[in-house]
Each structure stands twice: as structure tokens, then as C-alpha cells.
Amino acid sequence: MSLQVLKDAISSKKMTCPQCNKPVQKFEKFVEMVDSVWDGAGDSNKTQYAGSKVTLICGNDSCDWKERTEYWGNYIAD
């Protein structure tokens, strides 16, 4: 999943905090995890990604939930 998917889910309030069941307000430390890099003849700078990690922060008044996860897509409600 990409950074734009994460931003869209948070802005549209589709990502839910498992502790208070309110929308997650923010995130930090998003990184793409690299699976492999091919820097060979004719196919230079080809990078394959194996997912991403992010720290989700609830940010609602009475909730201090915060989690670093690579399974952040599981918190998005359809």
C-alpha cells in the first residue's frame, strides 16, 4: 500500500482506532520496505517494494493509542 492510500484513509476518516473506535487522526514515520534492487545493464534502478511501515496515532482527546505496524491496511474500514 502506498503513502497516498494512507493519507486518503485518514483524511476520509476510514481508518479506525482499535481502542476508542474513533477515526485515527495522524501518522508518522512512513517508510517503504525494499524487497530487492536491480541495478543491471539495461534495467537500471528497478526497485521492488515489499510493503510499508507506519506509526499510527489516534490523536483523539481521551485516547493515547499509538502503534508502529506494517499491517496498517487492516485498520481501514471499507
Q: What tens digit of pLDDT does each residue of 16-64 get? A: 999 999 999 999 999 887 777 676 665 656 777 678 899 999 999 999 9
Name which residue leads in pLDDT, 70 or 35: 70
Beta bridge partners of 26: 57
**Domain total in the chain:** 1
User: pTM of the full predicted structure?
Assistant: 0.78
Report pLDDT for 2: 85
* Beta strand extents in the chain (DSSP E only): 26-40, 43-57, 66-69
Residue type, 63: C
Report pLDDT for 10: 95
- Helix count (H) and strand count (E) of the chain? 1, 3
Whole domain around residue 26: which residue ranges? 3-75
